[in-house]
Chains A and B, each alone.
Chain A
Amino acid sequence: DVKVTQSSRYLVKRTGEKVFLECVQDMDHENMFWYRQDPGLGLRLIYFSYDVKMKEKGDIPEGYSVSREKKERFSLILESASTNQTSMYLCASTIEGGRIYGYTFGSGTRLTVV
């Protein structure tokens, strides 16, 4: 069974901390994505990557960076966590531009910044 694994289900961090959210997929997918999900706002794209070491900004990249050193791993970095980054973070991957199979999502990481 294909999988996208996010390293933590729940995370509590302090304001100003550097936070790493890890995502690993075992499907040899080229494209990987980070979204955040907030009530009333739906899912918003933070960053995506279409190849190793390649990244593109999504709709809300401010305060975030990403790293993709290996094809299977896509990391989201909060450079200096703030309370407005408290959210559910969802990682997803897809092959063939998502035109055939859609996304496979991880289970999500619920991050609370205090």
Chain B
Amino acid sequence: SQQGEEDPQALSIQEGENATMNCSYKTSINNLQWYRQNSGRGLVHLILIRSNEREKHSGRLRVTLDTSKKSSSLLITASRAADTASYFCATENNAGGTSYGKLTFGQGTILTVHP
């Protein structure tokens, strides 16, 4: 079953603009992660935010987490054409016991950055 749901499904912006993608989830989590996928390739881990954290930065990426609303957002600042990719949120659910790092992925946001 899909835990995370990204919004929007597709986003088209111009180079230099900021891109914001949102993710909602349903159950209690240990952490939430964002991944990027270039067309036809494997996913690349971008950033992980733990359930007790509210905001995290990595370069041009800013992730926020609101556990009361069960939602997260990924902001990419000053976007570049090379940022064109699909972006997925994934949650490690806290269902009791050991999760073994098992992740549940959303369906992704397709980001297109026009030069």
Contact = CB atoms under 8 A, between A and B. Distances in A.
B92 A99 contact: yes
Contact of A97 (B40, B45, B50, B101): B101
Interface residues of B, number: 28
Contact of A31 (B30, B42, B100): B100
A107 B42 contact: yes
A100 B50 CA distance: 9
Contact of A99 (B41, B101, B105): B101
B46 to A, nearest CB: 8
Given A59-B1, A90-B42, A106-B42, A97 B99 contact: yes
Interface of A: 4, 31, 33, 35, 40-43, 45, 48, 50, 56, 58-59, 88, 90, 92, 94, 96-108, 110
Given A4-B42, A48-B100, A56-B100, 13 more contacts: A31-B100, A33-B102, A41-B107, A42-B105, A42-B107, A42-B108, A45-B103, A98-B33, A98-B101, A101-B45, A102-B35, A103-B45, A107-B41
